[in-house]
Amino acid sequence: MLNLDRLRTLDAVARHGSVSGAAEGLHVTTSAVSQQLAKLEREAGQQLLAKNGRGVRLTDAGRLLAEHAARILSQVELAHSDLEAHRGQAVGELLLGAFPTSVRGLFPGAMAVLRADHPQLRVRLQELEPDASLPRVVRGDIDLAVVLDWYNKPLSLPDGLAKAPLLDDPADVAMPADHPLADRREVDLEEFADDEWISWPKGEFCHDWLMFTLRSKGVEPRITHTAEEHHTQLTLVGAGFGVAVAPRLGRGPVPANVRVVPVRSTMRRHIYAVWRADADRRPSIRAAVDSLRKAALDVET
């Protein structure tokens, strides 16, 4: 009989395209993956992997079994959801992923509600950007992710995912306290055409959004510094190295030498939870979404 854990390992290799990628996704060592695959080959009685340069590839038999493994694991997920729904209680383990400012601004409150209302539910949280968390939800590596897009640049969701809106998060422009526009009640992005900008790293969704948005206003941005953390960006702003977009969620105290001013045409991030549609009936998913919505209401009020 084929072992389910070994089928899960083969499925991970097929999805990630390598033994090392499968090991990372399964949170095990590459040696453990290789051992599981060797045992699965003995169970199947056929070679499932072949060397391909410095890596490996699935053989015809490996691809065939990997297709079956994907269907079997999907059915197992459905069975798990149905059993949890039949029991009607949020129990077991729930794996969550979320981008950094939502981890700071939403999750302390949301997880406190989950712990109080569902003491038998074990929650594990990972800080992940949306481009990393979405594939993991699709693969089943995590159960639910909190992601974002911008008012003028939607994030494309893969098929098979369900979503629930949580809140809209306004974003301001952060500038040094001695900036000529620092005392204004509102500003337009076009007014910063001659300023240097501090942005998220190149290639990140929010960096691409900033470039797109400024160019749509006729501004060719001069990105002089990049930083992932908003607090780091604000520190650079305070030191006089440029201006930056500063979302409000999870922003925390603003340095004394920084001013944040709203944009006349409000910039907003749309923040929502996503999960696999085939897990929709799981009470733990519903409990997580409910707790996040409660935390979002507290943020908005």
Per residue, what are the HEC states of 129-160?
Answer: CHHHHHHHHHHCCCCEEEEEEECCECCCCCCC
State the helix-helix crossing angle for 107-117 and 283-300, rounded to 10 degrees. 130
Domain boundary among 85, 112, 132: 85
Token couple for 210: 């900033």
Contacts 24+ apart (CB under 8 A), 2-6: 2/40, 2/43, 2/44, 3/39, 3/40, 3/43, 4/72, 4/73, 4/76, 5/36, 6/36, 6/37, 6/39, 6/40, 6/43
Assign residue 159 the CATH number of its domain.
3.40.190.10
pLDDT digit string (tens) for 34-60?
A: 888 888 888 888 888 888 777 788 888
- Together in a domain, 155 and 178: no
Other CB atoms within 10 Å distance of the CB of residue 201? 11
Q: Mean per-residue pLDDT for 1-28?
A: 82
Reading phi first (left if > 0) and then psi (alpha if -120 to 50, else beta), residue 27 is in left
> For residue 294, what are the domain limits?
91-165+271-300
**Statement to judge: residues 277 and 156 lie in one domain:** yes
* One domain, residues 23 and 111: no
**What are 232's two structure tokens?**
């780091």
Q: What is the DSSP letter of 47?
A: -
- The string of pLDDT tens digits covering residues 255-296 is 999 999 999 988 999 999 999 988 888 889 999 999 999 999
Q: Is the pLDDT of residue 214 over 60?
A: yes
Q: What is the pTM of this model?
A: 0.73
| Domain end point (choices 70, 85, 100) | 85
CATH classification at residue 26? 1.10.10.10
Number of domains in the chain: 3
Q: What is the pLDDT of residues 75-102, one digit of tens each?
A: 777 676 666 665 667 778 899 999 999 9
Question: Taking the CB of residue 104, how many other CB atoms lie within 10 A of it?
Answer: 17
Alpha-carbon span 300 to 298, nearest angstrom:
6
